[in-house]
Amino acid sequence: MKLSSIKPAEGSTKKKKRLGRGVGSGKGGTSTRGHKGAQSRSGYHSKPGFEGGQMPLYRRVPKFGFKNAGKVEFKPINLDVLEDLAKKTKSSVIDNAVLYENGLMSKNDKVKVLGRGELKSKVEVKAHAFSASAIAAIEKAGGKATVLS
C-alpha cells in the first residue's frame, strides 16, 4: 500500500454538482436559480434573519425580562468545605489561591462564604463576601474573616 493508492470507500463520496454546463445536464440555462429577480443575479445575498418579507422569527417571538449588566455573581463556599480544606491542606490561611489549587473555584470567580456546616479550625479566610452567620462562626472558632476588594 502506498499513499498514492489510497482511495475513499466505495460510495462515500459524490461528484460536485456542475451548474450551467448545457441543457442536457439538467442544470443548464438558469443553473437552478429560476428566472429573473435578485436571487438569480450574481452577487446576491440576503440579510441574516431575512425571511422573504415574512415577519422574521426574532420579531415574532415575544421578548420579556431584563439582564442586569452590573450584577455580581458569587461562587458559594460553605463552612464545612472550608473545614475539610483546612484539615487537608493544614494551612492557617485560606484564600483564592488555596481554593483555586483545590478546584473549588475558577481563576476569575468571586467567592462568598456561607454559614452551612461547622468550622472548628482556627483559620484566616480571605474572600470577596461573607454571610453574617459565616463571619460569626469563623470568629467563634478563633479565626479571622477578611473581605477582599
Q: How far apart are CA 84 and CA 47, in angstroms?
A: 56
Say if residues 117 and 97 touch (Cβ distance below 8 Å): no
- Please state, rounded to an integer, the average pLDDT across all residues of the chain: 93
Say if residues 85 and 143 touch (Cβ distance below 8 Å): no
pLDDT tier for residue 48 given thresholds of 50, 70 and 90: very high
Question: Of 31, 53, 50, which is closest to residue 42 (Cα–Cα)?
Answer: 31
pLDDT tier for residue 11 given thresholds of 50, 70 and 90: very high
Residues 6+ apart with CB under 8 A from 85: 91, 94, 98, 99, 102, 104
Mean pLDDT, residues 51-75 taken together: 94
Contacts of 80-85 spanning 24+ positions with Cβ under 8 A: 80/116, 80/117, 80/118, 80/119, 81/117, 82/113, 82/119, 82/121, 82/123, 82/125, 83/117, 83/118, 83/119, 83/120, 83/121
pLDDT digits (tens, 9 = 90+) for 73-128: 999 999 999 999 999 988 889 999 999 999 999 999 999 999 999 999 899 999 99
| Cell reading at 97 | 489561591
- How many Cβ atoms from other residues are within 10 Å of residue 121's Cβ? 18
Q: Which of 15-19, 20-24, 89-93 has the lowest mean pLDDT?
A: 89-93
**pLDDT value at 21 more than 90:** yes
Taken in order of first residue, the domains within the chain and their CATH numbers are 74-147 (3.100.10.10)
**pLDDT value at 135 more than 90:** yes
pLDDT tier for residue 149 given thresholds of 50, 70 and 90: confident
How distant is the alpha carbon of residue 76 from its chain centre?
19
